[in-house]
Structure 1
Amino acid sequence: MAGKTYKYNIFTGNMDIVQDSSVIVLKAVADTVNDLPLTGNTENDLFIVRDTDSLYTWNNPNPNGVIGDWVNAGTVAGVDWSGILNGPGSTPAQIDNAVVKAHAVNQDTKLDEGGVNEKNAFNLVESIPVGDNKRITGLTYNNVTNQIVVFFDNV
């Protein structure tokens, strides 16, 4: 029976216990098949070969071998947007547009400026647990204390 080992899962951030024989590790890219390493390999190491866009796996339990120990696992196929399993419902253009808007938020001084829900500092109200609500009349950033200073009046 094959041994087990811990492998870092880049998608979950966890260390997972996996079968040694089932682990495929992408090691690097080689320019040609003849550039694939013949020493220091681990079974199921994976290389991409540039000149043919092929995936090659090391099919030898020993770290050293011959070029024939590399098995061609097929070509690297391009994936278009519709080929992503459980992918987002948004189009790439919609996602790009959202990113542009998110970056622009850093420039905003009002919420929903020009929209029906437009708000600025004068519309904000702070609820105080004991006492009256207060209307925020101003906000400034203090560079010395790295804090936001809030100015308010009674409502």
Structure 2
Amino acid sequence: MPMQVLINLFIATLWMFLQDEWSVLSFFSGYLVGIFVLFLMRRFFPHNFYISTFINIIKLFIVFIHELFTSSIQVVKQVMRPKLNITPGIFTMDTDLEGELEITLLALLICLTPGSVVVEVSTDSRKFYIHGMDIPTSSDSLMKSKDRFEKSIKRVTRK
């Protein structure tokens, strides 16, 4: 994928130098031409087309923002009650992600959502031990968001 970006920048620079005037607009138009050329040549590259990977990264970011807001609303509801009625605790969550990057990314995304913190990852990287603010609600919502996170992470990191 980095090779595709470099080729695209080379095409854009070459396009700009072949124009009558050097400007940001001619570089941008060359960049668009480079995207089109790379799109036509995408089957010759070992990795996915880099624009699709970039779009998947944006989708992962949108999934994270959605989960961040929904979990924040749940935490605010719990905190704003007149009497704090929560049952904190630690629960396990299984994952089918592979590799250090995928495991680390899932752990960070879970830690960044309010109401849950990854305490430990098992030695085989298949189980997360998570501290939840309110076990019944946070474990259910975290299991739903885990599925969405895992799908998005797989789209970004795998072919």
Same fold? TM cut 0.5: no
Structure (1/2) with the larger strand percentage:
1
TM (norm. structure 1) is: 0.22
For the pair shown, which has the larger CA radius of gyration, 1 or 2? Answer: 1
Q: Between the two structures, name the one with larger relative contact order (CA 8 Å, sep ≥ 6).
A: 2
TM (norm. structure 2) is: 0.21
Structure (1/2) with the larger helix percentage:
2
